């Protein structure tokens, strides 16, 4: 085991289980026709059902059901042909019904499993315990008035999938890889946009520690962590905190905790409630969900190619290494970009340019790949210009930068800036001769320092502004300086 943490009393193992709340992509809410659009005026997307008005009845949204089944299939999970909705009772100002409609004992999706990618080449299986459907709550606004809190119910009733993992992860990196993978699968399926900033994907992290081989320790749940980076920090802090407590001879209290990103610490929010505190019971307003096998199979037929299969296809079809293929499929938009750029161009080069220049420019400008000024078609054209010798690899970097600024076609840039590769031997020879005659000291020094050859290559490149064919330059220099014919 490489994930052990050192304590005063020896090694500790971290045990992590994750609950993801993923907002379903659907135009209307789980039990009402109100819009789910993000960022609208407060309380403009609220029906009587969402506001918990007496006598209102929930009506199931079939799109949300199909999305949950699709997600279950994407997580290689068992779809339950019979499931029921329960009321989870608790009081909170942003929960006007006084209960959340959720699923408890019989969820829509049962056991599943996904593979997570670790440090390039290692793959680990993480088991999924279940996926259930539930309503989101509204939102309390504490910053609108000096002495009152307001409530915005736009989010109230939006469909969520709660995806619960088994406690199969044992480091911050594994937890991060797991969340990235689930998010990626849902983005491929278009069942959740995975946008953590807008809260469409939130994670609750259960952390406990134990001596290797011992029984599970007492866990704490860190609520609503909303970035991959914070998830890593929260786990590392929390595991150390628990180890210190146990090593001091004290006992961990089962708690719900919050992560404070400014301090990099978790702090107690409340003692952990148990399922029986919620008085779950079947919602009498809703019938059970009953699926035929044909229904499930009809949804299975609509599944797109998912990341694991796409990765394998990229290896087989484009001859990429598993590492490169994994990098490309880790975001659907990147995989799509690659496939367009690689159509008719050298796929390995395309991959290198995406991972190198393109990512670095996008990072600098804080742009997503679907906003790239260099279109995938134009990147493919640039690669072809290198491949067929029209331009040198060195000048291609300048051209790429100009493409990123202007969005222009690479050939337009090459032509209007006279950037074609010079392969004409006569022309290169003239430049080589000029450099030899004007640098007699260097020519002499070359006899005892053969690695000065690089300096001559550099001079020719400088003189031609990077346009000389490097292979031709080397051959001519060797002919003139070493063989001396």
**Shortest Cβ 292–Mn ion spacing (Å):** 28
Compare residues 95 and 362 and give the one whose CB is closer to Mn ion: 95
**Shortest Cβ 99–Mn ion spacing (Å):** 13
Question: What is the footprint of Mn ion within residues 447-476 (CB under 5 A)?
Answer: none
Task: Name the one range near Mn ion by CB under 5 A: 158-166, 227-235, 434-442, 475-483.
Answer: 158-166
SS3 content of the chain, % helix, strand, coil (to 5): 40, 20, 40
**Shortest Cβ 396–Mn ion spacing (Å):** 51
- What is d(CA 458, CA 451) in angstroms, rounded to the nearest whole number? 12
Secondary structure (DSSP) of 140-198? EE-SSSSS--EEE-TTTT-EEEEEEE-S-B-SHHHHHHHHHHHHHHHHHHTS----TTT
Residue from 13, 50, 152, 162 binding Mn ion (CB under 5 A): 162
Task: Name the one range near Mn ion by CB under 5 A: 34-42, 157-165, 280-288, 419-427.
Answer: 157-165
Task: Name every residue whose Cβ is closer than 8 Å to that of residue 135 and which is 6 or more positions away in sequence.
Answer: 29, 30, 31, 100, 101, 102, 156, 157, 158, 159, 160
Compare residues 48 and 281 and give the one whose CB is closer to Mn ion: 281
Label residue 123 left, alpha or beta by phi (over 0 means left) and psi (-120 to 50 means alpha). Answer: beta
Q: By rule CB under 5 A, what count of residues binds Mn ion?
A: 1
Task: Name the one range near Mn ion by CB under 5 A: 29-37, 108-116, 160-168, 444-452.
Answer: 160-168
Compare residues 13 and 162 and give the one whose CB is closer to Mn ion: 162
Contact flag: residue 86 with Mn ion (CB under 5 A):
no
**Shortest Cβ 21–Mn ion spacing (Å):** 6
**Shortest Cβ 162–Mn ion spacing (Å):** 4
**Shortest Cβ 204–Mn ion spacing (Å):** 8
Sheet containing strand 99-102, strands side by side: 99-102, 86-89, 281-282
CB burial class (10 A; 0-12, 13-18, 19+) of residue 426? exposed
Compare residues 152 and 162 and give the one whose CB is closer to Mn ion: 162
**Shortest Cβ 94–Mn ion spacing (Å):** 14
Pairing mode, strands 86-89 and 99-102 = antiparallel
Pairing mode, strands 159-165 and 122-135 = antiparallel
Compare residues 162 and 283 and give the one whose CB is closer to Mn ion: 162
- What is d(CA 8, CA 15) in angstroms, rounded to the nearest whole number? 19
Contact code string over 111-150 relative to Mn ion, x by CB under 5 A: ----------------------------------------
Compare residues 162 and 174 and give the one whose CB is closer to Mn ion: 162
Compare residues 173 and 204 and give the one whose CB is closer to Mn ion: 204
Bridge partners of residue 113, in order along the sequence: 127
Helix (H) or strand (E) holding 416: helix 410-416
Contacts with Mn ion, residue ranges (CB under 5 A): 162
């Amino acid at each position: 085991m490489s994930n052990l943490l050192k304590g005063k009393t020896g090694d500790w193992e971290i045990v992590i289980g994750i609950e993801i709340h993923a907002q379903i992509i659907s135009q209307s809410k789980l039990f009402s026709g109100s819009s789910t659009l993000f960022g609208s005026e407060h309380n403009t997307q609220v029906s009587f059902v969402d506001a918990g008005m007496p006598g209102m009845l929930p009506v199931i949204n079939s799109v949300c059901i199909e999305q949950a089944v699709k997600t279950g299939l994407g997580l290689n999970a068992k779809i339950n042909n019979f499931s029921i909705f329960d009321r989870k009772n608790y009081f909170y100002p942003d929960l006007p019904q006084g209960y959340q409609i959720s699923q408890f004992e019989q969820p829509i999706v049962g056991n599943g499993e996904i593979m997570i990618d670790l440090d390039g080449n290692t793959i680990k299986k993480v088991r999924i315990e279940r996926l259930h459907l539930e309503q989101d709550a509204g939102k309390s606004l504490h910053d609108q008035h000096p002495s009152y809190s307001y409530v915005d119910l736009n989010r109230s009733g939006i469909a969520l999938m709660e995806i619960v993992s088994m406690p199969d992860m044992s480091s911050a990196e594994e937890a991060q890889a797991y969340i990235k993978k689930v998010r990626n699968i849902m983005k491929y399926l278009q069942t959740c946009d995975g946008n953590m900033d807008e809260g469409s994907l939130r994670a609750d992290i259960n952390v406990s520690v134990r001596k290797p081989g011992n029984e599970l320790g007492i866990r704490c749940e860190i609520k609503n962590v909303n970035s991959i980076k914070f998830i890593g920090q929260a786990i590392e802090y929390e595991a150390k905190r628990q180890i210190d407590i146990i090593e001091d001879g004290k006992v961990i209290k089962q708690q719900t905790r919050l992560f404070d990103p400014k301090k990099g610490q978790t702090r107690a929010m409340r003692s952990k409630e148990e399922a029986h505190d919620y008085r779950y019971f079947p919602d009498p307003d809703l019938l059970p969900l009953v699926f035929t096998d044909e229904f499930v199979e009809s949804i299975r037929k609509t599944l797109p190619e998912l990341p694991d299969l796409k990765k394998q296809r990229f290896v087989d079809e484009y001859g990429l290494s598993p590492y490169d293929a994994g990098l490309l499929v880790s975001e659907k938009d990147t995989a799509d970009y690659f496939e367009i750029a690689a159509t008719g161009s050298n796929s390995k080069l395309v991959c290198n340019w995406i991972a190198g220049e393109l990512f670095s420019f996008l990072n600098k400008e804080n742009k997503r790949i679907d906003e790239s000024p260099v279109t995938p078609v134009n990147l493919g054209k640039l690669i072809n210009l290198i491949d067929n010798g029209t331009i040198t690899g060195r000048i291609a970097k300048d051209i790429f930068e100009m493409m990123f600024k202007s969005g222009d076609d690479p050939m337009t840039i090459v032509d209007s800036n006279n950037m074609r590769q010079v392969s004409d031997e006569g022309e290169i020879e003239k430049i080589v001769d000029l450099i030899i005659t004007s640098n007699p000291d260097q020519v002499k020094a070359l006899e005892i320092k053969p690695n000065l050859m690089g300096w001559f290559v550099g001079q020719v490149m400088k003189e031609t502004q990077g346009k000389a064919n490097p292979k031709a330059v080397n051959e001519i220099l060797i002919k003139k300086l070493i063989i001396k014919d």
